[in-house]
Chain A
């Protein structure tokens, strides 16, 4: 499923990194610990988190993740968005918490496959 398709299906906000909306999502990874994501999230995963700083994008780029999804109405820091544009990785947002939104993403990806 493309990032743009998930965005439409779950009515997610797009904060920036729009050129990354055509990336393919191969699955998801929900974590707020950066080393957890660094060590264990695979390429193409959607990263669901409440972290909103620039280092999130650095990791997303290093790990070739498909997009970031911020939970609980969190707003990205300005320098996070700057790097999102540079790297072409979309930053999405939801008002729901990690548990709720992870469930919806999981179901959406399952229906699609």
Chain B
């Protein structure tokens, strides 16, 4: 099964809508609640990263018997140093975003801690692609 969601950069009032919609689908598919929790944490963080940093993005999700594979592809500033971005506490979020309680440098950690495979590719000035998988069962 394939699902796609559009995400607008900067629109915090809709942040998490895609994650919420996909969570409902996972419930309908009777996916194990523990796995749903892990997928939702990773997906939400990656969705918010598009809202906080990029201009726009698309989320492409494939649900197979054995795994859920999620790709988040954005048009945005890109990440100059991915290993730096992966460090706990490192963030380039704006003061406004931080005031809301985002931008603590925990998002990518939350993704890494909840997925079985994670791949991040980025081109500065073009955009970022975050891909991850969670094994089912």
A55 interface residue (CB < 8 Å to B): yes
In which size bucket is the chain A interface?
10 to 19
- Chain A residues, CB < 8 A from B48: 34
Distance A62 CA – B48 CA, assembled complex (angstroms): 13
- Chain A residues, CB < 8 A from B41: 38-39, 62
Could you tell me how many residues of chain B have their Cβ less than 8 Å away from some Cβ of chain A? Answer: 23
Instruction: Tell me whether A51 and B45 are in contact in the complex, defined as CB-CB below 8 angstroms, given that A39-B110, A79-B13 are known contacts.
Output: no
B56 interface residue (CB < 8 Å to A): no
Please determine whether A62 and B19 come into contact, CB atoms closer than 8 angstroms: yes
A-B contacts at CB below 8 angstroms, number: 60
Q: Which of B58-66, B72-80, B100-108 contacts A (4 or more CB under 8 A)?
A: B100-108
A61 interface residue (CB < 8 Å to B): yes
A10 interface residue (CB < 8 Å to B): no
Among residues of B, the one whose C-beta sits closest to the C-beta of A61 is: B20
**A9: min CB distance to chain B, Å:** 28
Please determine whether B100 and A53 come into contact, CB atoms closer than 8 angstroms: yes
A interface with B by C-beta (< 8 Å): 32-36, 38-39, 43, 49, 51, 53-55, 58-59, 61-63, 79
